[in-house]
Every structure is written in C-alpha cells, then in structure tokens.
Structure 1
Amino acid sequence: MKITKKVLVLMVTLALTLTSATAVAFADVDYSQWNSQAAYPSDVINTPLFTPVKFLIDQKVFTGYSDGTFKPENQITRAEVAVALTKMTNRTSSLAAMETVDKFNDLAGYGWAKGYINTMADAGIVKGMSGTSFAPAKNISYAELITMLIRTKGGAASEIEGYGTWPNNYIQYAQTYNLLGDVVITDWNAAATRGDTAKLMYRMMPKN
C-alpha cells in the first residue's frame, strides 16, 4: 500500500509534535531532588559529617531536630545513646516487654527510653552508675561511649581484660584496632558530642 505524500507529511509532523511535548514534559522534572541532600539536616550538608549522619538517619538509628538541623556540637545523654545502640544492634523486638522491667530506679519520666535502656543493660552493653541508678540525663563521656560501642561487637572481653582496668583497657583496645578513625579525643572524661558519636557509630556499623 502506497503512502501518499500528504499522509507522510502528517505522520512526520505528528511525530515531531509528540517528541517536542515529551521534551517539555521531561524538562519540567526537578532532578535536583533525586537523591538530594535536602532531606537531611542542613548543618551537616557539604561537611564530613554528611555521610555518617545520612547513613544513621537512613538506618533509623539517629534523627535530627525538628528545626531541620543535627546540632553536631551538642552533647548526648546516656539515655539517648542507649536508644541509638538498641536500634544500631537491631534489638528492638523486645522493647514492649522491657518497658515493664525495673532494672533502675531513676527512669521516671524516661518512658521513651526505658525499654531501650533495659534492653541494652540486659545485653550487657550498658551498665548503671550503680546497681540501681542509670543516670539517664547524664551526658555520656567518650570513655563510656567507646566502651558501649565495643561491647556491641562482642567477643573481645578476654583481650580487653589483658589491657588493664576500665576505662584504659577499652581505650587501648579502640586505639589498637583504629576504631576512632578521624575522631580526635584529648579528654576521655569529656562529654561526647553528637557529631563524634555519629562518626564512631558509623565506623562500627556494617555497611551491607
């Protein structure tokens, strides 16, 4: 069947029109939002903290503040770290049951963290300040933080004991195995920052 010149012209014109319309439609798409940093805290974008903070937020281990920031220089409490460690180690399945356990007598007002604290205490990852006190509002020190993080890995207790007493044994273990990365700690008794906590957690978490 022969195609007349008029029909051929019509077909070519229609094809060009559709191509033009499609080009306009795709040009209207804002590709800048695809895999964008805009969904993450504004104060870590274009900083070395972006990768660890993004990873921890994606894994639902950490969250930013409601004003859209992460506040990496803020200190972090023992209760907040217990929550993050529970999520980091995928031990959230027993939270409801652990909320009814009374391991410590100073968790009034910490219903949001009680199950997490008890879960981590039951796993031997966190310990109280005494047999009955956890001190949930106390800012965590770098020594406490690295101790808890190392305990999440398990299996190193005998080697750590060989390094002496706490906290020097955990500090030496961390330094021996380069667990600190680019986090420089000059005072292990100082309160850890959210930024350093994010870096250390990211360094010790599996990336698969």
Structure 2
Amino acid sequence: MFTGIIQALGRIIRIEPRGGDVRLHIETGSLDLSDVAPGDSIAVSGVCLTALEPSVQGFFADVSNETLGLTTLGDAAEGDVVNLEKALRLADRLGGHLVTGHVDGLAEVTAIEIDARSQRWCFRVPSGLSRYIARKGSVCIDGVSLTVNAVDGDEFEVNLIPHTQQVTTFSQRQVGDAVNIEVDLMARYAERLFEKETQA
C-alpha cells in the first residue's frame, strides 16, 4: 500500500527486453533505499513494482505484459522521469489516501489552466472508470494523491498547488499526454457491497 505522496523523482536509465516483457533499471535520485530489501514494493509513477537488487543508486524491476499494456510504462523510454514512493509502513503518516499501486487504466490530459498560483488540470478517463470518480473524492494520477474538484461525464478536474507541480512529473506533462490512474479503493468496495445488496 502507498499514500500517493511522492518521495522523490527518479529516472528510467535502462529498458531491457526479456522474454517478451521488460526489465527496468530505475535510478532513484534522492530516495533513500537503505531500508528497502529485495522483493519490497516501490510505486513508479503509480505502478507498484517489486524492487530487485536495490542499491544506493537505484533498483531493477521486472514489468509484465499486463502492466505494460495497462500503464504508461508500455510507452516508457530511457531517460524518462518517474514519480517514486516506497511502500507504506504502519507507523507512517497517511498524508494522501490509501493507494494500492494497481493502475486501473490510462487517462488523458485534456486541459491545463492557470488558477491563481495553482493550475487546474482536466482529464478524460475511460467510461468504465468515470463512475468511480466523485467531486471531493480522491484519485491517484501517476502515483500522486489528488482531490477531485469537479466531474462532468468522463472528464474531471483537479488543482495542483505549486509544490505538487515542482516535486512531481506534472512539471513535464502537457495536454494530450497519457497518465496512469487509480480510482479510490473505497469506491470499488462500495460498488461491490451495493451489488451484493441488490442481488440479495
């Protein structure tokens, strides 16, 4: 589990094809991996990956075809900057919301507008995911926990404060880009409970 609070920016420094899928070598910059053991989870732009051979410089991660097909990692290139977050510990602060790192699909950036010192970003999601997004609810975009300001059909808006713009990959995104999206876990559980009640 994760919180959607980005701890550092990293970089994909090598993409190695292996038997039909790929292995990534990720440089972690300022992220301290001294407490990360082989097999621990690290969210890479919102995608939960298993850290292999963690070192001072970074780690390796195997990425399956399923993950390549569902996330922006399928179009990743060497040199791409990524958001990083180590897995949540029980004693950690929960500054964002509960995030699993299991990306639900891709959203598209449809507009970026200045809103005082913040930016208002608009995204379009696949119609099958829009029902999980609610005004003032939580959503995770490229691993970043954000609050939904408005929803209109398959589009929704969030505000990015200057800090978020500076410490995440949003500073490199533009209209038309694809981003990883994970809907609020509670919304999925609520839907499941409602299904059981209507079937009873």
Q: Please report the TM-score for the alignment, with normalisation by the length of structure 2.
A: 0.28
Higher strand share: 2
Higher helix share: 1
